[in-house]
Amino acid sequence: MRTKIFNLSLVIFLLLAVAFLQPAHAGSENKKQNVIVKLSHFDALNWEDPTKDGHNWQPACMALMMTDHVLGKKVGKRYKNKVTLFLALEAVEMADKDTATDLSSFTCMNGQTLQDRWDDLVNKGVDIAVCPGCAKIGGITPDTLREGSFIPNGAPEVTRIFLKADKIIDF
């Protein structure tokens, strides 16, 4: 009798362990998610290659590529996931059309330029938010924004954007 109770307890324990120890993301691949890809570093005007054939704008390429991949499959006219590219610190320069920053002069490892990637994301409906404080420091105004980007209305709106996110990917 004691062995049967022990075996039954062990089976119940194992079933509970399997049920509760599943990764938190298990099954989340199938549900619609709200994702933010945050990019903080891009210094187009002062870049130098840190190594031969290396480029310090590759994190920007990676962030834009990741933004595209996170969209998921196209479902009707939209994509599976809602994705926002959030530009902060010096990455806000990417959104300033009035600077000397020509995104088509930065080629990513796959041969696409940053401008190609930017245009593709805009065409796919990705929101490109520019940190309001960082924009102000950089002299970026709504009139100088590159197509497809916007400056949220202060800290409350930025807070709402981030609190709605299921995931945040930081570059």
Domains in the chain: ranges and CATH: 32-170 (3.40.1260.10)
When the pLDDT of each residue in the chain is averaged and rounded to a whole number, the result is 81
- pTM, whole model, 2 decimals? 0.78
Does position 6 have pLDDT exceeding 50, yes or no? no
Going by pLDDT thresholds of 50, 70 and 90, the confidence category of residue 56 is: low
Sign for the pseudo-dihedral over CA of 115, 110, 85, 41: negative
Q: Pick the range with the lowest mean pLDDT from 48-57, 60-69, 91-100, 150-159.
A: 48-57
- State the residue for tokens 């009798």: 1
Q: Give the per-residue pLDDT at 10.
A: 47
Decide which of 53 and 126 is more confident: 126
Going by pLDDT thresholds of 50, 70 and 90, the confidence category of residue 171 is: confident
Note whether 38 and 84 are within 8 A (CB). no
Once rounded to an integer, what is the mean pLDDT over residues 122-150? 95
User: Which pairing describes strands 78-79 and 149-150: parallel, antiparallel, or unpaired?
Assistant: unpaired
Does position 107 have pLDDT exceeding 90, yes or no? no
As a whole-number percent, the residues of the chain with pLDDT over 70 amount to 73
Note whether 31 and 167 are within 8 A (CB). no
